[in-house]
Every structure is written in structure tokens, then in C-alpha cells.
Amino acid sequence: MVWSFRNWRRRRIQQHDALPETAWRDEVASLPLLRGLSGDELARLRELVMVFLREKELVAADGYGLSGDMRLKIAAQACLPILNLGLDYYAGWVSVIVYPDEFVPEYEFMDEDGVVHQVREPMIGESWERGPVILSSIDVERSGELDGVNVVIHEFAHKLDMLNGAPDGFPPLHREMDRAAWTQAFSRAFDDFGAKVESGAETVIDPYAAESPAEFFAVMSEAFFEIPHILQREYPEVYRQLAEFYRQDPMARMGEEAGCA
Ligand SMILES: [Zn+2]
């Protein structure tokens, strides 16, 4: 009942809230991230984007105005990872809050010893369990350039990770996937990457990935969509697991030169 109502509503949105063709084409052209998607895939992405913009509430923080371009840029990049999964993967929360630039959240947390810490450091994105996604507009603008850094994909990957509880780098896998293979691929790569960062070696992939398994999954997701050739070269098993999870193969669709910069 609920399911069919929701689908009926989504179909109505697709019919009546058409996204102007020119605005959509301009957005696709401005995002190298979408390179190589077929006509059919782009059409499906556009439908997802329309429903996303209707179902999610994109709001500007600090009274800063949110342009149509910015809304589209967020929606297009947020919907790419769920192109073959569906919008229900972003169920259970509504708001995307956009700051003009880095923001400084202040919050407290208690560690295992019961000591309360105050956190106050600038961030470019944040995801709350069952709460909003928060993004810096400048960093959204910088995303999608195929340099491996994409705050939108990063924060929405956390949302996928949170579908089965606190983020731990283990999103709900599909039935046909092998949990042991996922664990082995990710823990080996996490240990190897952590050792490289520890040793001071330069890494093409953002060293922030070494922070925790949750951050590792989010950063590897950025690399998977932005620099798939590099991820495949560095951690082929992680690439394979992500291809199974996202049901996409960005390396195949982008062609030879992508991600080799
Ligand atoms: Zn993160």
C-alpha cells in the first residue's frame, strides 16, 4: 500500500515537475564525473534527481541563497551512487543543509573512559545518523572534477553506511554479495593504506581515509567514482566489492585515460 502510493507519487512528480532540459544538459556537461554514462543511464539519473529534489529539503544555512545550479549539482552527484540502487537507499531523513564555505560545528562527545571532549574544527561536510547531510557549497563546486575528492559522494556514502546502524564501513550488502570477501578486501586495504600514511608516503587517495573504517569506505567511494583506474590499480579487491555494491563499473564507462592524471 505504502509502496504503491509512493511509486504513484513519484511517477506524478516525474510527469509534472519536469526539470528543464537545458538546465539538465548544462549540468551534465559541467560534471566530468558523469562522463561515459549511456543515454539510458542519464535519463534514469535525471528521474532520480527530480524525485530527490522533491523529497529532500535542500536549505541554505546562514540565510545564504541556494541557487538552482547548486541544488542540481548536489542532486546529480548524490544520485549517481544510487543510480542502480534506488532512492529508498536515502530513506529515513530529509534535510541537506548547505553552508557557503567550511563550517565549524561545536559538539561534545564522551570517550570510552567517560571523559567529555569538545570538538570544534572546520569541516566541509557532515552526515548525521537519521539526520541531515551538511555540505560546504564551495566544496560542492569543486566536486566532480575527477581528482578523487568529492564531498557529496563522501557524505552520501556515509548515509548508505548508516542504513544498518552507526557508520563502520559496512553498509548493507546485497544478498548475492559475500560478507567475508568484503571484510577481507576492506580490512587488508585499510591496514595497508594506514601503514602508508603512517610512514609519511604520498598517497593519491585522500589520507583522511586512514582515520577509521567508516572514513575509509567514504573516501574509497569518492575514489571509485572519481578516479576508478587509480583505485583499481591500488586496491583491486576494494574496487570489485564497490562495483558489486554500487552495481556500477565507472572504470569501464570512463575509458582508458580517466583517473590517470
Ligand atoms: Zn566522513
Kind of pairing between the strands at 133-136 and 95-99:
parallel
- Ligand 1 centroid–CA 1 distance in Å is 36
**Model confidence band, residue 12 (pLDDT cutoffs 50, 70, 90):** low
Cα(144) to centroid of ligand 1, in Å?
Answer: 17
Q: Point out which residues pair with 120 in neighbouring strands.
A: 106
pLDDT band at residue 184 under the 50/70/90 scheme: very high
Alpha carbon of 217 to ligand 1 centroid (Å):
9
CA-to-CA separations, 209 to 29, 181, 222, in angstroms, rounded: 29, 20, 10
CA of 55 to the centre of ligand 1 (A): 24
d(CA 209, CA 206) in angstroms, rounded, equals 6
Other beta carbons within 10 Å of 126: 18
State the average pLDDT for the chain.
90
Cα 171 to ligand 1 centre (Å): 14
Compute the distance between CA of residue 163 and CA of residue 87 in angstroms, rounded to an integer.
13
- Report pLDDT for 246: 98
| Cβ atoms of residues 228 and 258 within 8 Å | yes
Beta bridge partners of 110: 116
pLDDT, residue 115, reads: 85
Residue 155 identity (one-letter amino acid): E
Residue 181 binned pLDDT confidence (cut-offs 50, 70, 90): very high
Encode pLDDT of 33-45 as tens digits: 999 999 999 999 9
Task: Check residue 261 and give its pLDDT.
Answer: 45
- Residues forming a β-bridge with 77: none
Residue 74 has pLDDT above 90, yes or no: yes
Q: Which one-letter DSSP state was computed for residue 60?
A: E
> In 56-102, where does DSSP find H-type helix?
68-79
Q: What is the pTM of this model?
A: 0.88
> In the predicted model, is pLDDT for residue 29 greater than 60?
yes
Decide if 217 contacts 156 (C-beta within 8 A). no
pLDDT tier, 255 (very low <50, low <70, confident <90, very high otherwise): confident
pLDDT band with cut points at 50, 70 and 90 for residue 108: confident
pLDDT value of residue 259:
46
Reported as type and span, the H/E element at residue 110 is: strand 106-110
